[in-house]
């Protein structure tokens, strides 16, 4: 359509500029000399119904509506008066919501967006486009219906029904709103894109129609399970999970219980104010009620990168001086070797000494008795010597036993053995619990981190060489990642199929691998081959300039990783002196406690040993 043939309502001609985009219904063009407006020109002249709808929308416009939407501002007519298109606000500077909830596109368009950003985006005001397809009611009470829809946002009660002449309700829209919030908070997953455990296929539109919410508390009963590497709905908090349960419940269509936009805003605002940062990854946030970060295991097991660490979250190293930090570490003294338990030297107790003297005297009496018996035998009657000798030995044995009567020696020996056992136990605890090995190991770790930190410039230089050597491969990967399946025209892969692929982390041409596609429910060899063919077509259009520099985004990614590594090493070294001091203090305190426990046993052992020696006549 030539510019001179397009006229505004007041008769002024509109000069079209560069084409900005093309869809199934029309194309969008710049307006020469007016960057605030764009023109949508229909491929075919709209029907009388559509034209009446556009005129009614002009009458319904308000400043608030224009602030929130790309609402029609005027119609564009041909010279014969027929409507050919419309003027609307230019929403340049905004990005499609798909760019935010898909991890790959979010890293490209919103690299510093963490989960809090997704919560805020779900609750905040956005700019709506394609308003000429909305259902509207004019001032006379006439309704102009919305005759288009996207199957993976269509509620169960409307699945499979013709949309022409169908009256939409807020409860219908609330289903799509809940799906969109799910997409955002669950980082690109569709609530009904799961693995069907029954027979046959379960595309998303069928799962929606049969209320097979893959993340709900009835998922197993409905033979559904969530895709792998997926957080559970409760990761978004119990309140949010309950809203999803209401939105996707079978009775939601008839009971009108789907959460409204206002209810979502209230719940999401509370969610945003109750999130915690992961202690292991500065870019991971999750609800306070969740015991552990849900993102870390997903990234570690799947290899997928869901969130960058925001640059603002990486501490600067301006105040860090390695020499000063290391000097503090070196000033922490080693706790020294494991001490031995000291057993004091003591004398026998008065009771034991007295008993020892008596025992020696009594044994001496026994020996004298034997000698006396022998003397008597020799002098009186040598023939009875054997009898007198036996009598003397009997007296000796009896006196010896008498000397040990009362059980004092047995008691002392038992006391000494018990004390010895306790000293052995405490000595083992000293060796196992207070060995300086833990201090030495931590010091060795810190020394390794110092070496790593010192070598980071060399590491960056080496990685930069790899980037230079791999410029073509990396450029091709970036090129493939820019081609999203969402916007590709692939036969047999409509919105429902694309949503299923995304739920299994296949978002761009770069993600398409034949075996990976076959692992997605509803995708067989034919569709996998079509996707591969589309990827090949995309890749064949890639042109590499051998004289090109390394992609600045790759350099930024490298510097971000180096900054994270640097910050992690610096933080570890800054905490090093305190960690060593704590380990040293723990060892010394534990040693002191164990030695204190051992002291009474050492005293008991020393006393019992001295008493035992006194009782047995040992020196």
Total-model pTM: 0.73
Q: For the chain, give the percent of residues with pLDDT over 90.
A: 64
CATH architecture type of domain 1-93+130-154: 2-Layer Sandwich (3.30)
On the CB side of 500, how many CA atoms lie within 13 Å of its CA? Answer: 27
CA angle 283, 288, 292 (to 5 degrees): 65
pLDDT in tens, 385-395: 566 556 655 65
- For 227-258, b/e burial (b = at least 16 CB within 10 A) is bebbbebbbbbeebbebbbbbbbeebbeeeeb
Contact 139, 281 (CB under 8 A): no
- Residue 62 phi, psi (nearest 5): -140, 165
CA angle 405, 410, 416 (to 5 degrees): 150
Which pLDDT belongs to residue 390? 66
Position 179 confidence tier, pLDDT thresholds 50, 70, 90: very high
Average pLDDT, stretch 460-467?
A: 95
Q: Is the pLDDT of residue 71 over 50?
A: yes
Distances 188 to 277, 377, 590 between C-alpha atoms, Å: 21, 114, 52
Residue spans per domain, the chain:
1-93+130-154, 105-122+169-313, 350-433+589-616
Lowest average pLDDT, out of 149-163, 186-200, 371-385, 593-607, goes to 371-385
Beta bridge partners of 75: 86
Lowest average pLDDT, out of 267-276, 372-381, 427-436, 568-577, goes to 372-381
């Amino acid at each position: 359509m030539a510019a001179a043939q397009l006229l505004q309502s007041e008769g002024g001609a509109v000069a079209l500029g560069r084409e900005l985009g093309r869809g199934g219904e029309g194309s969008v063009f710049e307006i020469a000399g007016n960057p605030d407006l764009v023109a949508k020109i229909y491929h075919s002249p709209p029907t009388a119904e559509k034209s009446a709808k556009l005129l009614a929308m002009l009458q319904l416009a308000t400043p608030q509506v224009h602030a929130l939407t790309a609402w029609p501002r005027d119609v564009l007519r041909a010279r014969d008066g027929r409507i050919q298109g419309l003027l609307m606000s230019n929403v340049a500077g905004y990005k499609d919501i798909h760019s935010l909830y898909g991890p790959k596109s979010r890293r490209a368009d919103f690299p510093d967006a963490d989960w809090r950003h997704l919560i805020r985006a779900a609750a905040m005001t956005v700019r709506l486009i394609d308003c000429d397809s909305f259902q509207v009611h004019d001032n006379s009470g006439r309704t102009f219906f919305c005759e288009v829809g996207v199957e993976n946002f269509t509620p169960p009660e409307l699945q499979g029904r013709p949309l022409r002449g169908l009256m939409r309700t807020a409860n219908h829209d609330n289903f799509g709103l809940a799906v969109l919030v799910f997409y955002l908070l669950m980082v690109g997953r569709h609530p009904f894109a799961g693995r069907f455990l029954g027979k046959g296929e379960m595309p998303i539109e069928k799962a929606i129609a049969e209320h097979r919410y893959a993340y709900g508390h009835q998922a197993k009963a409905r033979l559904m399970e969530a895709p792998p590497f997926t957080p559970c709905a409760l990761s978004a908090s119990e309140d949010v999970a309950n809203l999803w349960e209401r939105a996707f419940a079978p009775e939601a269509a008839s009971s009108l219980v789907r959460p409204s936009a206002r209810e979502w805003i209230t719940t999401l605002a509370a969610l945003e104010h109750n999130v915690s940062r992961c202690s292991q990854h500065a870019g991971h946030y999750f609800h306070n009620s969740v015991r552990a970060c849900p993102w870390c295991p997903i990234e570690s097991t799947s290899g997928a990168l869901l969130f960058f660490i925001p640059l603002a979250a990486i501490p600067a190293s301006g105040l860090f001086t390695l020499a000063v930090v290391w000097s503090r570490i070196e000033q922490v003294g080693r706790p020294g070797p494991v001490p031995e338990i000291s057993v004091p030297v003591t004398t026998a107790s008065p009771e034991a000494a007295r008993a020892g003297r008596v025992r020696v005297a009594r044994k001496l009496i026994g020996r004298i008795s034997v000698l006396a018996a022998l003397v008597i035998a020799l002098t009186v009657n040598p023939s009875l010597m054997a009898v007198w000798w036996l009598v003397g030995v009997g007296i000796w044995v009896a006196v010896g036993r008498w000397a040990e009567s009362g059980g004092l020696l047995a008691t002392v020996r038992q006391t000494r053995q018990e004390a010895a056992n306790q000293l052995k136990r405490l000595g083992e605890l000293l060796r196992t619990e207070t060995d300086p090995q833990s201090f030495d190991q931590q010091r060795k770790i810190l020394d390794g981190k110092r070496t790593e930190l010192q070598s980071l410039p060399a590491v960056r230089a080496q990685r930069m060489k790899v980037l230079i050597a791999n410029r073509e491969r990396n450029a091709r990967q970036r090129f493939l990642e820019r081609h999203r399946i969402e916007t590709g025209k692939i036969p047999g892969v409509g919105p429902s199929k694309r949503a299923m692929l995304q739920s299994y982390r296949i978002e761009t041409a770069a993600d398409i691998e034949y075996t990976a596609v076959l692992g997605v429910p509803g995708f067989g060899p034919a569709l996998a081959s079509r996707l591969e063919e589309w990827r090949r077509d995309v890749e064949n259009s890639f042109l590499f300039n051998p004289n090109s520099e390394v992609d600045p985004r790759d350099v930024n990614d490298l510097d971000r990783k180096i900054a994270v590594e640097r910050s992690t090493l610096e933080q570890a070294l800054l905490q090093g002196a305190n960690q060593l001091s704590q380990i040293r203090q723990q060892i010394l305190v534990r040693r002191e406690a164990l030695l204190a426990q051992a002291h009474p046993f050492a005293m008991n052992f020393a006393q019992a040993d001295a008493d035992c020696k006194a009782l047995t006549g040992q020196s």
